[in-house]
Structure 1
Amino acid sequence: MKQSIQDEPMLGASPGLLRLDRRELIRHASLRMADQARRELLLFDPKLDPDLYDQRPFLSAVRQLALARPVLSVRILIFDARQASLSGHRLIELARRLTSRIAIRCVDEDDQDRLDAFLIADECGYIRRQMADSLEAVADFNNPGEARRLRAAFNPIWERGASPLELRRLDL
């Protein structure tokens, strides 16, 4: 089944692959997924694309999820923490304020051959760009099998990753 993003898909209820061919559609789907997540949000994006993830509505959805859970609920994997930090990415700042609920790690050098980027919500929905720099993505708001497969790929990369010094908060 193919549907359009204008159908306002619901996490865990709207089956069917969405083909997203513009940045605005990927941004909107990412917001919808983050806004509807209730347990966990996993993000693998080499550059932590600011056009997608440094937007007020998305940041608000991530903050709401993080504050609603008493445990770590948002995990983010990136390649270069220094670049994201220097650019003033607001998701980095949010993670610095909510350290027990949002964590960011840098991908180990051995894992930096991955070319894709993805977002997983509640082990149920996902958005995946085959090429991280691409403006094309696929999303499915109700595909637990694929979401679990991506999560299974995410977890070992997370375990091998490191918490970068550039992202630690300095209180003086």
Structure 2
Amino acid sequence: METAKNPSIEEKSTTQRRIIKDRHEVGEILAGLIENARREIVIFAPQLDGALFNTSRFARALASFVARHRHNLARIVVEDAEQSIRDNDRLVLLFRRLSDFIHMHQVSDEHIGIREMFVVVDHRSYLYQEDTSKHECISHLNDAHQAAMLARRFNELWDRSEPIQSLRSAGL
């Protein structure tokens, strides 16, 4: 009798955890996370790297996400608001057009100097970079525990952050 070895749930979930060292692959995984988001996206980054966040794929995925359901929400907290606006024109256009669904804030003074970057999707998937000066990231598609910890951390940053006024388009 032949017995096929089926991987356990634990083995399956650990195989979804990836360490990524290639910047292009980080961008692909980031866009893939956003494409698969169902309800909520939270992003913290000291700076929004245009090579990752200002791509047409990322912008299309974010626009599609907010268009899918009226309760979908994307929130972003950055340290360097000027750089984020200057280097991410696709995102700035989305923020201005879809300001009810995409919000961007600047961290409070007490959180300046954090060197990590993370993206959490639906409290289950995440991309985490411990130090933005290094290219190594960790990605996991189904780790609710770690995703919830990062989302909780994001909410602490969000609660003390300020909206970026220069994103508001002047209208008549």
**Per the alignment, do residues 122 and 97 of structure 1 end up closer, same or farther by CA in structure 2, a change over 3 Å counting?**
same
Greater Rg over alpha carbons, structure: 2
SS of match in other structure, 2:47: coil
Cα deviation for residue 84 of structure 1 reads 2.1
Partner of 1:18: 18
Query: d(CA) in 2 for partners of 1:50 and 1:88?
Result: 6
1:72 Cα offset (Å)? 5.2
On the 8 A contact 2:77/2:104 being kept in 1, the answer is yes
What's the counterpart of residue 91 of structure 2? 91
CA contact (8 A) 1:73 1:101 kept: yes
Extract unaligned runs of 5+ from structure 1: 1-13
User: How far did residue 88 of structure 1 move?
Assistant: 4.8
1:81 is aligned to 2:81: yes
Superposed CA deviations along residues 105-141 of structure 1, whole A, max 9, x for unmatched, are: 0011101132100011110000001112321100000
- Give the drift of 1:42: 0.7
CA deviations on 1:48-68 (whole Å, 9 max, x unpaired) are 111101000111011111111
Q: Could you tell me how far apart the structure 2 residues matched to 1:109 and 1:163 are?
A: 13
User: Residue 39 of structure 2 contacts residue 72 of structure 2 at CA under 8 Å; is this kept in 1?
Assistant: no
| Matched-pair contact (CA < 8 Å) for 1:72–1:103 | no
Instruction: Give the percent of matched residue pairs that are identical in Structure 1 and Structure 2.
Output: 25
Note closer, same or farther for the CA distance 1:81–1:72 as it changes in structure 2 (3 Å cut). Answer: farther
Listed as ranges, the matches of 1:1-172 within 5 Å are 15=13, 16-71=16-71, 73-171=73-171
Distance 1:44 1:100 in 2: 19
Alignment-mate amino acid for residue 26 of structure 1: V
Equivalent residue pairs, number: 159
**Partner residue, 2:9:** none
Q: Give the AA of the match of 1:137.
A: C
**In structure 1, what is the Cα distance between the partners aligned to 2:107 and 2:86?**
18
RMSD over aligned CA atoms reads: 1.4
Give the TM-score, by structure 1 length. 0.87
SS for the counterpart of 2:163 is coil
Verify the 8 A CA contact 2:38 2:65 in the aligned structure 1.
yes
User: Gaps spanning 5+ residues in structure 2: where?
Assistant: 1-11
Instruction: Tell me, in whole angstroms, the C-alpha distance in 2 between the residues paired with 1:149 and 1:87.
Output: 29
Task: Find the aligned partners of 2:98 and 2:138 in 1 and give their Cα distance.
Answer: 30
What is the CA–CA distance in structure 2 between the aligned matches of 1:154 and 1:36, rounded to whole Å? 20
What TM-score does the superposition give when structure 2 sets the normalisation length?
A: 0.87
| Structure 2 letter corresponding to 1:129 | Q
Instruction: Please state whether the residue corresponding to 2:162 is helix, strand or coil.
Output: coil
Counterpart residue number, 1:3: none
